A and B are shown apart, each in its own frame.
Chain A
Amino acid sequence: NAGVTQTPKFQVLKTGQSMTLQCAQDMNHEYMSWYRQDPGMGLRLIHYSVGAGITDQGEVPNGYNVSRSTTEDFPLRLLSAAPSQTSVYFCASSSPGNYGYTFGSGTRLTVV
């Protein structure tokens, strides 16, 4: 029972570099989301998807791109990393109408 798998767990980037945070779920959930967690800020929604081919912006989408080509995968792309993107990133999934999100264990990203 893998649930939601995020890779990598840790990453250090230089300003201006690009990378993709991977998220995969094996529960056939239609809904997937990306959140970032910063001290004292709680969890803020970056992007979400209600199914393959459908994505939308959340509260803090700037600097991030997503696509959803399959039900299982929802990668988050940073095109040009900035220090302000230093954070812990969580991917979550759920079924329609079910607010009990399943979260991955997070990716800790540092941009220097």
Chain B
Amino acid sequence: GQQLNQSPQSMFIQEGEDVSMNCTSSSIFNTWLWYKQEPGEGPVLLIALYKAGELTSNGRLTAQFGITRKDSFLNISASIPSDVGIYFCAGPTGANSKLTFGKGITLSVRP
């Protein structure tokens, strides 16, 4: 099946720094989604991208839908401690809104 690749598994940054993470696939996706999971909770949708080349912001978060439709990027600017969590990319596979998730990147922010 279609797979979404996220690496590295963990990232460690200093508070105030910007961080960028990407998600790649060998298959084309028509929609890219970014979710964040905080400890002890389920994932929450951050940004949805529906069009190749699209750039969308949500506060300090900016995500882009790659032109090839095989990748997407998430940038977090001026990180703060509450940005800690696992960031997943996801995309629909098959019919009926089934979502495939990447393995996630665990972000740690040092004060």
- Evaluate contact between B33 and A99: CB separation under 8 angstroms: yes
Interface size on A, residues (CB 8 A): 27
Please tell me the number of chain B residues within 8 Å of chain A, measured between CB atoms: 23
Partner of B42, one of A31, A41, A44, A90: A90
Q: Which of A14-22, A64-72, A102-110 contacts B (4 or more CB under 8 A)?
A: A102-110
The distance from the CB of A8 to the nearest CB of chain B, in whole angstroms, is 14
The answer to whether B42 touches A48, judged by C-beta atoms less than 8 angstroms apart, is: no
Query: Interface SS of chain B: helix, strand, loop or mixed?
Result: loop
Q: How many contacts between A and B, using CB within 8 angstroms?
A: 59
Provide the A25-52 mask, 1 if CB < 8 A to any CB of B, else 0. 0000001010100001111110010100
In the complex the two chains form, is A41's CB within 8 Å of B48's CB? no
Task: Kindly state whether residue B82 has any CB partner on chain A within 8 Å.
Answer: no
Q: For residue A48, which residues in chain B have a CB less than 8 angstroms away from its CB?
A: 96, 98
Given A43-B43, A100-B48, A104-B42, 17 additional A-B pairs, CB 8 A: A4-B42, A31-B97, A33-B98, A42-B102, A43-B101, A45-B99, A48-B98, A90-B42, A97-B97, A98-B97, A99-B31, A99-B48, A99-B90, A100-B33, A100-B45, A101-B99, A105-B41
